[in-house]
């Protein structure tokens, strides 16, 4: 399979939607200006690894989303969610076409679908991720008896049979002690910054932190400031 990219300047800069017509060798990816596109992968985001290697599917900490051709691309295409549950990917499957996107409005537009105006539980369904990764509502109804799937914290294989299969992300080993935690946190932050500021990117990113009333965000903000000034 091959990626066929279509840049759309009017889209939100990090939005994308992949459209796969079954039995076609092409994966059409419609995307905004700041989605990074290469022959064998596309991505919006950063992770703790070499940017050019494109191995965000194997990352412990991936902020963003993307897709990549498998090395043996006859096996299909892998789409990758963030390594957190604040964002998700969406998919819609028709008789001969599969759509997958990081944007709900965009995938509805591309698939010519609409939300079901009579369905009153969308907010509850989206909030169901608060119950945990194994208990959230995965399928939402659309108009005309169609449906849309939600995908959190997983890799999604579109195989050569045009089946969407959710694959588990790599298991993260527990911290052995506080020293191990601190070392892994600092190393992850260092590698994440290197990835986000890679010279191979069209657009580079710095660090932004938020502050809450707890202790964790001030601590992370302090680590970020230390790293910037180091």
Over residues 10-22, the pLDDT tens digits come to 999 999 999 999 9
pLDDT-based confidence at 210, cuts 50/70/90?
Answer: confident
Instruction: Give me the domains of the chain, ranges plus CATH numbers.
Output: 2-167 (3.60.20), 178-229 (no CATH)
pLDDT at 220: 75
Task: Report residue 203 as tokens.
Answer: 């657009």
pLDDT of 195: 96
Sort 74 into a burial class: Cβ within 10 Å, 0-12 / 13-18 / 19+: exposed
pLDDT class for 216, splitting at 50, 70, 90? confident
Q: How confident is the model at residue 60 (pLDDT cuts 50, 70, 90)?
A: very high
Burial class of residue 78 (count of CB atoms within 10 Å of its CB; 0-12, 13-18, 19+): buried
Looking at per-residue pLDDT, the higher value among 224 and 3 belongs to 3
């Amino acid at each position: 399979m091959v990626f066929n990219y279509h840049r759309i300047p009017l889209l939100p800069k990090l939005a994308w939607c992949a459209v796969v017509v079954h039995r076609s060798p092409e994966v059409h990816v419609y995307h905004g200006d700041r989605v990074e596109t290469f022959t064998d992968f596309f991505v919006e985001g950063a992770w703790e690894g070499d940017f050019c290697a494109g191995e965000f599917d194997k990352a412990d900490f991936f902020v963003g989303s993307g897709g990549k051709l498998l090395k043996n691309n006859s096996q299909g295409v892998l789409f990758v969610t963030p390594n957190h549950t604040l964002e998700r990917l969406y998919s819609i499957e028709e008789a001969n076409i599969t759509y997958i996107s990081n944007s709900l409005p965009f995938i509805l537009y591309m698939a010519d679908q609409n939300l079901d105006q009579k369905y009153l539980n969308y907010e509850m369904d989206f909030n169901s991720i608060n119950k945990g990764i194994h208990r959230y509502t995965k399928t939402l109804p659309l108009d005309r008896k169609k449906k849309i799937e939600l995908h959190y914290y997983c890799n999604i294989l579109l195989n050569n049979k045009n089946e969407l299969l959710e694959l588990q992300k790599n298991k993260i080993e527990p911290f052995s002690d506080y020293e191990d935690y601190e070392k892994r946190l600092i190393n992850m932050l260092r590698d994440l910054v290197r990835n986000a500021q890679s010279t191979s990117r069209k657009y580079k990113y710095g660090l932004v932190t938020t502050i809450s009333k707890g202790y964790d965000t001030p601590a992370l903000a302090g680590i970020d400031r230390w790293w910037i000034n180091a």
